[in-house]
A and B are shown apart, each in its own frame.
Chain A
Amino acid sequence: MRYLPLTDADRADMLAVIGAADIDALFVDVPKAARLDGPVDLPGHAGELAVERALGALAGQNRAAGAGPFFCGAGAYRHHVPASVDHLIQRSEFLTSYTPYQPEISQGTLQVLFEFQTQVAALMGLPVANASMYDGSTACAEAVMMAARVTGRRKAVLSGGLHPHYAQTAHTLAHSAGVETRRLGAAVDAERAVVEAIDEGTACVVVQTPNVFGTVTDVTAIAEAAHAAGALIIVVAAEAVSLGLLKSPGEMGADIAVAEGQSIGNGLNFGGPYVGLFACREALTRQMPGRLCGETVDAEGRRGFVLTLSTREQHIRRDKATSNICTNSGLCALAFSIHMSLLGGAGLRALAEENHAQARALHAALAAPPGVEILTHRYFNEFALRLPRPAAEVVESLAAKGILAGVPFSRLDPEAGLGDVLLVCATEMTTAEDIAALASALKAEITP
């Protein structure tokens, strides 16, 4: 019981101070019928070494991305995280603190959030960003609900290039709030189709760039069309590193921009925890979900930071709040912010260019095998291929040979009729040897 400081002598003394006969006397409000006689049917306590062995064995049954050539993306990206990032987020004062409700003794976290918001706003090309969301998919769903609040309309049009998990999440969350989502058919390069689907009840269109097939789109014209119809445009980026190279959502007319921030400072972690980035135009600030950190002064006039505009939030507004969110993704936002502080604008641009260059090398190598058709032509660090066989089979077969070849689109959307489509991704982690290994193995796999 290495985490429990009380000794039996302490317990006896404390019960005496309380004036209770025994520990059961403190549970007197629990109905007798509900009290357990003894421990539940689970193993007893275990030492640190035993637990490490048990969980280490489970970890050992997974193939780590670093164990061989690896090309998976589709919403989660493997990038290098500097050692200082992971060291700093394990500082006790960051790791074991709570939400900064007492600003006088939380300035560390609060200043980080203010810096984080500034970094996110700059990346998005928009003036305001919040202090993070759970992840990119829930940020996207919150953006849809926010657009409905802002416009008073109840319909959202989702592009066929939006990550299917994002579309499903938006559907689940927005539907309950009375907002209907319409997702257009999956298409590699058809973001403009959302314009045709806009009507007078449309609150927003949701467009992802680079989209789930990797296609990069300038959404300026789509934004103009949406605005002309009185709708908002939400721009989604599932790969935050792309924002170092590509036009920002704000530059293209986005009202709200959301992104998955995992790829800066955070590992793959089998899908979570991640960090959602959320930014918008200034006029929409008071309709934002989630926490906001703002600058102010203390009693002696010194600059300081506080959580602010909390009259939007559940702990004040209860059933009238803009969102039910309480917990955000603070530590992942810290990791993002530290990595971003190391990179700077110039470094992120260089990193993004490195990613793009690796993807071009991968693109060139995979264009060669006969039978492979490359579907994506304007891409950042991932693109889609059509294979002559079901992609899931090919991926499984290559996995057995030690290559994680990418994500079959059918894993994300089995109903789309794109069972032969494979999504592949390259980052700065990808080597020339990895690319050669995939090209060669793929060729062998699909050659009759």
Chain B
Amino acid sequence: MNAVPGVGRPTRPDAVASPAAPAHPGKGLAQDEPLIFELGGWDKTGVDFSAKARGGDRDSSDLEGLTRAVPLRLPGLSEPETLRHYVRLSQKNHAIDLALYPLGSCTMKHNPRMGEKLARLAGFADIHPLQPISTVQGALALMGQLAHWLKTLTGMPAIALSPKAGAHGELCGLLAIRAAHEARGDARKTVLVPTSAHGTNPATAALAGYQVAQIAQTADGHVDLADLAGKLHPDVAAVMVTNPNTCGLFERDVIEIARLTHEAGAYFYCDGANFNAIVGRVRPGDLGVDAMHINLHKTFSTPHGGGGPGAGPVVLSAALAPYAPIPWLTQGEAGFDLTEEATGGAKSSVGRMCAFHGQMGMFVRALAYMKSHGSDGLLRVAEDAVLNANYVKARLSGVMTASYPDGPCMHEVLFDDRWLEGTGVSTLDFAKAMIDAGFHPMTMYFPLVVRGAMLIEPTETESRRELDRFCDTLLDLAAAVRARDVERFKGAPFHAPLRRLDETLAARKPRLAWTL
């Protein structure tokens, strides 16, 4: 660090009274920014066109009666105005590149920039999904390699690459299961889901036309085997289990769960959202899994992008492979090919889940990530992810109440609000105070199986220094709770771009678009 000369600088900045905030359009580096609709630009455009287009003498008379009668009212901004607008907005976001982002079951890990560079190569970014197969052999080879890595890491024989996100992959898996049952003339009606499951599991089961029944959980955070066995009627099509589960625990009876499920003629669907904890160390195929989606945007670090795009390839057992959605990637002597119709050899396929072939841009990034780590590095990913979570657990457990204190956790650690009881501070308050201290809150109030849940997933890409910074911060906040400094929590955040927002107002009178 460079030495800073003292001349001209206040030696005790806190001694200088801060003036009442005047109504300026910014504060230090933080700039206010109106909506684009409030910046003028109604008759402008930030894109230059050829003289002909600009002159408006393009002839659209052949479309008479089919064109807009009223001009499209949207503002256009010059390039400098556009840059300012979005850079100012960006500075109102938390990001992994800024600090640890401990959202449980979301796997907010570092996103290598090499992936961004490679996905933008013209040979990947500038190819059309319906170009002749002979002109996209490299793209299909990349999909083939990705498929090979994912199948090898999961120990599963088949894969469907096209699902666009985790929930889309869940649906793909359940549709394959449904098709397999129907092919045997054994239509079943129920899917069993543990109480700790992510909301997409029951929502997907319902979307796939199933009734959802819940499996109870034991006091130590695992699937209740006796309850499961009791509910495995001949009407059960599938059991959907997240493993490691959303309590951050490995389902130690998973092989027995699979056995019971198969014995009842049902299929075992594994939600792979938490695959990061076991990648390279455990193959779901060895556990008896029939189908599992893999969130490439979690375990294989394609950027979350403020909520997508994701990618949710699904690995399938041999029994389910014939039902995989089209397109199917095949390899013959002439090279790679795509089977794009559910006919002929693919006639048992559940059909098409989306247009084209899936999230190619994500495939490039995920394969680059996997090749960088290799089999040895991926093993280390799982180990460090689990180590970091257990380190956080060890450092915080003396103060916060871990829901499952006995034994290690996997890649995430679950706390509840028992330690906050009687303090006047809720899980929400505590989380909002974390914002003032520079961190994004953990996943709150999920899973639903403990009260006031706080689910922390640090991931393997955090250094020990950052983990300590995070733990020290939480311990400091916890000390403030014990000191009954309730004001620090109730009104938090005080230092974010905005204070707490009124979500009730937003829902009661929805205002979903700007209007004059």
Cβ contacts under 8 Å, A271 to chain B: 129, 355-358, 360
Cβ contacts under 8 Å, A155 to chain B: none
Cβ contacts under 8 Å, A26 to chain B: 383, 386-387, 390, 408, 410
Q: Annotate A412-423 by CB proximity to B: 1 below 8 A, 0 otherwise.
A: 101100000000
Closest to A48 in B: B114
CB distance B513 to A114 under 8 Å?
yes
Least Cβ–Cβ distance between A293 and chain B, in angstroms = 7
CB distance A94 to B206 under 8 Å?
no
Q: Does B372 contact A (CB under 8 A)?
A: yes
CB distance B379 to A39 under 8 Å?
yes
Give CA–CA (A260, B129) in the complex, Å.
14
Q: Does A144 contact B (CB under 8 A)?
A: no
Tally of chain B residues near chain A (CB < 8 A) = 210
CB distance B33 to A111 under 8 Å?
yes
Cβ contacts under 8 Å, B89 to chain A: 107-108, 111-112
Known A43-B374, A106-B94, A304-B498; contact A327-B138, beta-carbon cutoff 8 A: no
Q: Can you report 14 A-B residue pairs in the complex whose CB atoms are below 8 A from each other?
A: A58-B139, A62-B139, A103-B503, A104-B499, A165-B352, A260-B355, A341-B76, A341-B82, A345-B75, A346-B44, A351-B49, A353-B56, A354-B49, A415-B341
Least Cβ–Cβ distance between A294 and chain B, in angstroms = 4
Give CA–CA (A107, B432) in the complex, Å.
15
Q: Does B375 contact A (CB under 8 A)?
A: yes
Cβ contacts under 8 Å, B174 to chain A: 176
CB distance A6 to B464 under 8 Å?
yes
Q: Does B414 contact A (CB under 8 A)?
A: no
Give CA–CA (A299, B123) in the complex, Å.
50
**24-71 of chain B: CB within 8 A of chain A:** 33, 35-37, 41-47, 49-50, 52-54, 56, 58-60, 62-63, 65-71
Give CA–CA (A315, B83) in the complex, Å.
35
Known A51-B371, A331-B305; contact A18-B390, beta-carbon cutoff 8 A: yes
Cβ contacts under 8 Å, A287 to chain B: none
Least Cβ–Cβ distance between B345 and chain A, in angstroms = 14
CB distance B87 to A95 under 8 Å?
no
Q: Which residue of B62, B126, B128, B502 contacts A296 across the interface (Cβ within 8 Å)?
A: B502
Give CA–CA (A93, B96) in the complex, Å.
8
CB distance A319 to B352 under 8 Å?
no
Q: Does B512 contact A (CB under 8 A)?
A: yes
Least Cβ–Cβ distance between B181 and chain A, in angstroms = 13
- Binding-face segment, B164-172, B223-231, B262-270, B476-484: B164-172
CB distance A267 to B357 under 8 Å?
no
Q: Which residue of A273, A296, A342, A396 contacts B164 across the interface (Cβ within 8 Å)?
A: A273
Least Cβ–Cβ distance between A36 and chain B, in angstroms = 6
CB distance B199 to A58 under 8 Å?
no
Cβ contacts under 8 Å, A82 to chain B: 46-47, 79
Q: Does B488 contact A (CB under 8 A)?
A: no
CB distance A137 to B33 under 8 Å?
no
Cβ contacts under 8 Å, B313 to chain A: none
Cβ contacts under 8 Å, A347 to chain B: 45-47, 49, 76
Q: Does B470 contact A (CB under 8 A)?
A: no
Cβ contacts under 8 Å, B505 to chain A: 296-297
Cβ contacts under 8 Å, B71 to chain A: 345-346, 349
Cβ contacts under 8 Å, A135 to chain B: 164, 354-355
Choose among B53, B311, B367 the residue with the greatest number of A CB atoms under 10 Å from its CB: B53
Q: Which residue of B86, B126, B374 contacts A42 across the interface (Cβ within 8 Å)?
A: B374
Give CA–CA (A42, B369) in the complex, Å.
14
Give CA–CA (A270, B86) in the complex, Å.
27
Q: Does A211 contact B (CB under 8 A)?
A: no
Closest to A294 in B: B506
Cβ contacts under 8 Å, B381 to chain A: 4
10 A-B pairs with least C-beta separation: A344-B76, A59-B123, A271-B356, A61-B138, A331-B305, A347-B45, A271-B129, A273-B309, A345-B72, A45-B374
Q: Does A367 contact B (CB under 8 A)?
A: no
Cβ contacts under 8 Å, A320 to chain B: 206
Least Cβ–Cβ distance between A396 and chain B, in angstroms = 5
CB distance B360 to A411 under 8 Å?
no
Q: Does A232 contact B (CB under 8 A)?
A: no
CB distance B250 to A324 under 8 Å?
no
Q: Does B405 contact A (CB under 8 A)?
A: no
CB distance A39 to B37 under 8 Å?
no
Closest to B47 in A: A347
Cβ contacts under 8 Å, B464 to chain A: 5-6, 10, 13-14
Q: Does A228 contact B (CB under 8 A)?
A: no
